[in-house]
A and B are shown apart, each in its own frame.
Chain A
Amino acid sequence: MAVLPVLTVVGVIVLIWYAGAYLMNRSITLDTAERRGVEMSASEVFADTMAQERPRLPAPHQVAVELWNTTAGEEMFRERRGEMRPNPRSLFFHAYQTLAPTLLGFVIGSLAGLLLAIGIVHNRAMDLSVMPWAIASQTIPILAVAPIVIVVLNAVGLTGVVPKSLISAYLSFFPVVVGMVKGLRSPGAMDLDLLRTYSASRAETLFKLRLPASVPFLFASLKVAIAAALVGTIVAELPTGARFGLGARLLTGSYYGQTIQIWSALFMAAICAACLVALLGLIERATLRRMGLSA
């Protein structure tokens, strides 16, 4: 089984993390002890490094406790001024603030990418003019300039979900274009010739041969796209002073030195990314099985 090696590796990472937490937080502990003029035994120092309020590196269990407290320990909605409002202390609320634009952008970007890929495969002029730019755009660190787009869109009057989801859409767009062009071109000359002998039209070839053949490529690029979309939304929240969302949690955490908050936001983002990719993986397996392709 593959479980044991994976567990071992994860275990080693956690151990290294604990060791790192001890080494990085020790100086803080010793400084406080010296200022107070207290002698601390080795075990006391160790215990203190594991339970600081603002450690340089929080121990894994501290992050886990914070994650639990801000999700299961907080109500998602609470009453304020007579109405039920989302509770900004719940991490689920922040995750939702990030996930909504991510998913919206992902859907928009993937659909646009799919359409463009179909156009590229059917039109040589489009292929020659758009494809090189689509590939070149992958090499540009567009994510780093995402915040500017948000600022500009805010200046135009677009606020809320739309600007963030535009970034996500842009980031999920290109993996889908590149992957689907490859997928739609994956049927061999034999298959295409067979459809020609049936005198199939281009639309029939597209729907009965090219699209089904491209499904494995589609899912591979969708997985890349959704991870990129999530990162896009998080980065888009950074320098715009967004108050809600996982990116905003990272930023406020870094302003106020709340390291545990940073790490818990980071883990929430990681959990979201893992869940989204896993969900796509499940859909992929179910689809491929129904299509008779072994996954």
Chain B
Amino acid sequence: MMRRVGLGAGLGVLVVVILAALDWRLAAMVGVWLGAWLLNVALSRSGASGARLLVPLIFGLTLLTLWEMAVRLYGISPVILPAPSAIAAAFAANTDILWADFVQTILKGALVGYVIGCGAAVLAALAIDRSVFLQKGMLPVGNFIAALPIVGTAPIFVMWFGFGPASKAAVVVAMVFFPMLVNAVQGLKASDQMQRDLMHTYAASYWQSLLKLRLPTALPFLFNGLKICTTLALIGAIVAEFFGSPTVGMGFRIKIEVGRLAMDVVWAEITVAALAGSGFYGLMALLEKQLTFWHPSQRKA
């Protein structure tokens, strides 16, 4: 194994030397890439306990470094692609604007729509669940609608509910409803017949067996839906702002700053979206871990 790594390193050095004769900038970038990659290969082979955290971190940092190097060495215009350092500077300089946009789009638009949409979907699933006929009809239709480009309804909702956050929330409701419904209906069916029979022998009422058996067994499915919907909610809220918004909001800012060619601010906004998306998803994953610790998928190997 070590010999193969050595061979790879030797080949890499050879490539860098040849490239250096042709274009030193490219050679520098390939060199950085190869160095980081070999470090990662060595780390992942070593089986060190920190490798699982360190290797992806090094990989991400390498990509950022290469981005920065490419922009600086080749003098790429900031109108096309700003360097990560420029984006960080724009982020730091515009924190008040970014925060206002975050509140407008994420908290007032996406989050409100997410709560209403997912809540309504779970209630609808509970209603559907009582009738086998409705279940049979609703599942294929729900699956079908969940695959459609619902985000296209954005112009309609903006027309109906105005430019404010209400229309954004409405788009989000439309986007998250069906994916959540399908997951909730499947989740409510997840308990075994045996378990249900047991509840029956205890003379449990509908509500008792719902609260003590069927909702807990449905939780993994519910969280699956909740996690899928976090991204959908953010997409819906931001895209809806492209169709009309007050002078605040992430979609609005992106649209305006692209027009003014201030790409560093646009990228700062994208960073906020990425952070918000991962944070939102992470929060749901954390909740899932706390509430479904008993499920096989959560067991540690």
Residues of A within 8 A of B (CB): 2, 4-10, 13, 24, 56, 124-125, 127-133, 136, 138-141, 143-145, 147-148, 151-152, 155-156, 223, 227, 230-231, 234-235, 238-239, 246-247, 250-251, 253-254, 257, 259, 262-263, 265-266, 269-270, 273-274, 277
**Alpha-carbon gap, A263 to B235, bound state (A):** 20
- Least distance between B23 CB and chain A CB atoms (Å): 20
Query: A234 near B152 (CB under 8 angstroms)?
Result: yes
Knowing that A125-B37, A125-B43, A266-B153 touch, tell me 15 more A-B residue pairs with CB under 8 angstroms.
A13-B141, A128-B56, A129-B44, A131-B56, A133-B60, A139-B282, A140-B273, A143-B151, A144-B251, A147-B242, A148-B263, A238-B239, A254-B155, A266-B156, A273-B147
Q: B131-139, B192-200, B217-225, B293-301: which one contacts chain A? A: B131-139
B67 near A: Cβ within 8 Å? no
Q: A128-B52, A148-B270 are in contact. Are A139 and B230 (CB under 8 A)?
A: yes
Checking A13, A130, A140 against B59 with a beta-carbon cut-off of 8 angstroms, the contacting residue is A130
Name the 6 nearest CB pairs between A and B, nearest first. A5-B137, A254-B155, A129-B59, A144-B238, A9-B137, A139-B281
Q: Which residue on A lies nearest to B244, using beta carbons?
A: A254
Contact B59 A148 (CB under 8 A): no
Q: B122 an interface residue at 8 Å Cβ cutoff? A: no
Let me know if A253 and B155 touch, CB within 8 A: yes
Indicate whether A9 sits within 8 Å of B141 (C-beta atoms), given known contacts A56-B160, A140-B274, A151-B258.
yes
Per the 8 Å Cβ criterion, residues 275-299 of B in contact with A are 277-278, 280-282
Q: How many whole Å from B264's CB to the nearest CB in chain A?
A: 12
SS class, residues of chain A in contact with chain B: helix
Known: A141-B234, A155-B80. A129 touches B56 (CB 8 A): yes
A-B CB contact pairs (8 Å), 8 listed: A2-B140, A6-B136, A124-B44, A141-B231, A143-B235, A144-B254, A254-B156, A270-B149
Q: When chains A and B are docked, how far (Å) is the Cα of A144 from the Cα of B282?
A: 19
Q: Which residues of A contact B190 (CB under 8 A)?
A: none
| B40 nearest in chain A by CB position | A125
Asked if B148 is an interface residue, CB under 8 A from chain A, the answer is: yes
Rounded to whole Å, the gap between the CB of B150 and the closest CB of chain A is 8
Interchain CB contact (< 8 A) of B148 among A132, A235, A262, A269: A269
| CA distance in complex: A223, B133 (Å) | 27
Query: Most B CB atoms within 10 A — which of A129, A136, A270?
Result: A129
Contact B59 A133 (CB under 8 A): yes
How extensive is the interface on chain B, given as a class? Answer: 35 or more
Docked Cα-Cα span, A152 to B242, in Å, equals: 17
- Cβ-defined contact, A152 with B80, below 8 A: yes
Q: A125-B40, A129-B55, A138-B231 known; A5 and B133 CB under 8 Å?
A: yes
Q: In the complex, which residues of chain B have a beta carbon less than 8 angstroms from the beta carbon of A257?
A: 159
Partner of B242, one of A132, A231, A238, A262: A238
Q: Is B72 an interface residue (CB 8 A)?
A: no
Contact of B163 with A by CB under 8 A: no
**Smallest distance from the beta carbon of A13 to chain B beta carbons, Å?**
8
Q: Shortest Cβ distance from A70 into chain B, in angstroms?
A: 16
B40 adjacent to A144 (CB under 8 Å):
no
Asked whether, in the complex, the Cβ of B255 is within 8 Å of the Cβ of A262, the reply is no
Are A6 and B242 in contact (CB-based, < 8 A)? no
- Contact for B158 among A4, A56, A139, A254, CB less than 8 A: A254
Q: Considering only CB atoms, which chain A residue lies closest to B146 in the complex?
A: A227
Q: In the complex, what residues of A have CB within 8 A of residue B135's CB?
A: 5
Residues of B117-147 at the interface with A, using a CB-CB cut-off of 8 Å, are: 133-138, 140-141, 144, 147
Q: A141's closest neighbor in chain B, by CB?
A: B234
Question: Which residues of B have CB within 8 Å of A251?
Answer: 155, 243
Q: How far is the CB of B212 from chain A (nearest CB, A)?
A: 29
**Distance between A201 CB and nearest chain B CB, rounded to angstroms:** 16
Does the CB pair B278–A254 fall under 8 Å?
no
A125 to B41, Cβ gap below 8 A?
A: yes
A235's partner among B45, B147, B239 (CB-CB below 8 A) is B239
Q: Are B141 and A140 in contact (CB under 8 A)?
A: no
Hey, which chain A residues are within 8 Å of B32, CB to CB?
none
> What B residues does A246 contact at CB under 8 A?
152
B34-82 interface (Cβ within 8 A of A): 37, 40-41, 43-45, 51-52, 55-56, 58-60, 79-81
Q: For the complex, what is the distance from the CA of A269 to the CA of B148, rounded to whole Å? A: 8
With A6-B140, A257-B159, A269-B148 in contact, do A144 and B80 touch (Cβ < 8 Å)?
no
The answer to whether the Cβ of B266 comes within 8 Å of any Cβ in the partner chain is yes
Query: In the complex, what's the smallest C-beta–C-beta distance from B75 to chain A, in angstroms?
Result: 14
Q: Once the chains are docked, how many angstroms separate the CA of A265 from the CA of B213?
A: 44
| From A10, A140, A262, contact of B277 by CB (8 A) | A140
Identify which of A145, A238, A262 contacts B270 (C-beta below 8 A): A145
Q: How far is it, in angstroms, between the C-alpha of A281 and the C-alpha of B141 when the chains are bound?
A: 16
Instruction: List chain B residues, Cβ under 8 A from A234.
Output: 149, 151-152
Chain B residues with CB below 8 A from A156, complex form: 80
A226: nearest residue on chain B (CB-CB)?
B147
Q: Are B238 and A141 in contact (CB under 8 A)?
A: yes
Interface residues of B in 223-262 (CB under 8 A from A): 230-231, 234-235, 238-239, 242-244, 250-251, 254-255, 258
- Determine the distance from Cα of A155 to Cα of B60 in the docked complex, in whole angstroms: 27
Assuming the contacts A2-B136, A270-B148, A274-B148, asked whether A132 and B56 have C-beta atoms less than 8 A apart, the reply is yes
- Chain B residues, CB < 8 A from A56: 159-160
